[in-house]
Chains A and B, each alone.
Chain A
Amino acid sequence: MPEIAEPRPLLVQIYRMLMADKFALCGVIFLIILAVSAIFGPIFLEDAATRPNLRGRNAPPLSMENGWVNFLGTDSVGRSMLARILVASRNTLQISFISVFVALSIGCALGLIAGYSTPRTSNLILRGADIIMSFPSLLLAVIVLYMLEPSIFNLVLVLAITRVPVYLRTTRAEVLEVRERMFVQAAVVMGASKRRIILRHILPMVIPTLITIATLDFAFVMLAESSLSFLGIGIQPPDITWGLMVAQGRPYLVQAWWLAFWPGLAIILTTMSLNLLSIWMRTALDPVQRWRLEIGRKTND
């Protein structure tokens, strides 16, 4: 009898598949560094990010003269750019993460309902999604943020609502496909309750797709938040996000380009990492495609 190899632990599998895609690996490393510094950085650098230092105004970047904290230069009142970017990253990432999480949860729940209920309920839910989809998300956010106050809570609310249809439609489409499969039919025949079928049989099939979309969406939401903050209707000072930092650096573009350049670069690198990660996930989470990453590994044991 041929021996069946023990499946490797999950982390080892992920590590091996990441090694097969060097771009995704770079993206993941960048995101991990970013997440760690966004969580712990502000604890040490809060002071450098808020205390003005009028003698060290607009210090140019890429020199160690003013200490490593000012390696990326200082802004118009002498605050360290590096520290400010880290403090802003916390806001930027937090807002995007919560928005995506809320949109994912609501969209997934509604999608499951729409995919597994009467046509009438399903139609009602889809029409609602159509209304949101039929209008450009940024314009919708602009209007709502004008009528409500531009606070962090409202910003998250608006961003989440505009993204719900994406998850809703994906979930529904997947549910419609999965519910016809043999194992679901079998569960129905064996008398499983609707609730059990949805939560135990269908949901686990849908989640990988949703997580891949959420990764890409994180980048989209981050760009949307940055645009809103840049236009002055998102996060309000003294709170800062990357988009707001670009806006604040704009008047000084000619004298001190680094004020607007670094936060913009931070946005690009983050969205690019997320894009690369989602491309990798699309392959890694798909059982039909996964072999491409498993076979691509260099070392064989």
Chain B
Amino acid sequence: MKAFIGKRAISSVISLVGLIIMVFFLSRLTGDPTALYLPLDASIESRELFRELHGLNDSIWLQFWNYVQDIARLDFGDSIRRSRPALEVVLEAFPWTLLLAFITMILVTFFAVLIGSLAAFRAGGVFDRFTSTFSLIGSSAPDFWVAIVAIVIFAVQLRWLPTSGTGTIWHWILPITVLFIRPFGLILQVVRGSMISVLSSAYIKTARAKGVKTRPIIFVHALRNAMLPVITVIGDQAAAMLNGAVVVETIFGFPGIGKLMIDSILQRDFTVILAAIMVTALAIFIMNLLIDLAYTLLDPRIRY
């Protein structure tokens, strides 16, 4: 198992390095790099000064070497807008997104497994059809649109919930609900499919023949095996949740990393964007390792 985890870690590191290289060459070789760091109306003199100061006149390989060293030291430079280390700004925003994604993912997993299992038990029944329709609509709706429609209904018309911010627990309800919809629909379908195939296997029939009650059959006997494909999808969706977080955080004014990235793009604060990319990539890398671990723990047959 250690060898397997080690192998996966190495392949993730390769991905991480690939990303770092890609970002460097994209940022240096497509047009003027000072245009990325400085405001659009910066004067030629200030551009020259910036080039001089940050070694942008050096050869591309020397620049790359410095860039790699800076990243190894976790030094991404200062945020141009906030005149603070970019990493500090990013690490301030990151826990918000992490918490938002974590709560949402827990809720998604719980409800998707519960409802998906029940739907699979009576496949083709009324409940099954209802949940399938819901998950279809849920996975078809653009999250930004759901978010603004929800704001109009619940915040503006009914005045039940606040439109943006993070002050109270009420502020979290709309962002979590909007983030919840798509992964819920997707994971629900995977749980259902996996559960249907497990429920038709011989050991379930044996258990049923022995007179085990329905509930233990679904949630004890079948679920453990049905969870294996589900774990993989949960991992993918947790990473993809950052996609949703960008949109949801921007709309609900939630101070997470998604909003930070979009703000930094609109303010042309490139150091913050770079730091945010690296921190996100690292987080995804750690999460993938955890998923692999969970997989090996759940399925003793896996001995790589």
Contact = CB atoms under 8 A, between A and B. Distances in A.
Contacts of B151: 253
Given A131-B15, A134-B285, A144 B26 contact: yes
Interface in A21-61: none
Contact of B242 (A136, A144, A267): A136
B15 A219 contact: no
A135 interface: yes
B173 interface: no
A289 to B, nearest CB: 14
Interface in A89-141: 127-128, 130-131, 134-139
B139 to A, nearest CB: 7
B145 A264 contact: yes
A223 interface: yes
A75 to B, nearest CB: 16
Contacts of A264: 141-142, 145, 149
Given A139-B277, A143-B277, A231-B246, A130 B14 contact: yes
B261 A142 contact: yes
Interface in B151-180: 151-152, 156
Contacts of B141: 264, 267-268, 271
Contacts of B18: 127-128, 131
Given A143-B23, A143-B273, A272 B148 contact: no
Interface in B264-298: 265-266, 273, 277, 280-281, 284-285, 288
Given A131-B19, A135-B19, A139-B280, A147 B144 contact: no
Interface of A is mostly: helix
Contacts of A231: 144, 246-247, 250, 262
A243 interface: yes
A272 B137 contact: yes
B83 interface: no
Interface string B181-207: 000000000000000000000000000
Contacts of A219: 140
A176 B51 CA distance: 51
A257 to B, nearest CB: 6
A243 B193 CA distance: 32
B53 interface: no
How many interface residues does chain A have, given as a range? 35 or more
Interface in A261-293: 261, 264, 267-268, 271-272, 275-276
B106 interface: no
Interface residues of B, number: 45
Given A135-B19, A246-B148, A253-B152, A268 B137 contact: yes
Nearest to B288: A134
A167 interface: no
Interface string A178-199: 0000000000000000000000
B63 interface: no
A148 B242 CA distance: 22
Given A246-B144, A253-B156, A139 B288 contact: no
Contacts of B12: 134
B242 A139 contact: yes
A267 B137 contact: no
Interface string A222-233: 010011001111
B22 interface: yes
Contacts of A143: 23, 26, 273, 277
B145 A135 contact: no
A128 B285 CA distance: 16
A87 interface: no
B136 interface: yes
Contact of A227 (B36, B136, B144, B156): B144
A201 interface: no
A139 B19 contact: no
A127 B15 CA distance: 7
Contact of B140 (A135, A146, A254, A268): A268
Interface string B16-34: 1011001100110010000
Contacts of A254: 152, 156
A16 interface: no
B11 interface: yes
B240 interface: yes
9 contacts: A130-B14, A134-B281, A134-B285, A138-B243, A143-B273, A147-B26, A227-B247, A264-B149, A275-B140
Q: What 3 pairs across the A-B complex have the smallest Cβ distances?
A: A264-B145, A131-B18, A138-B243
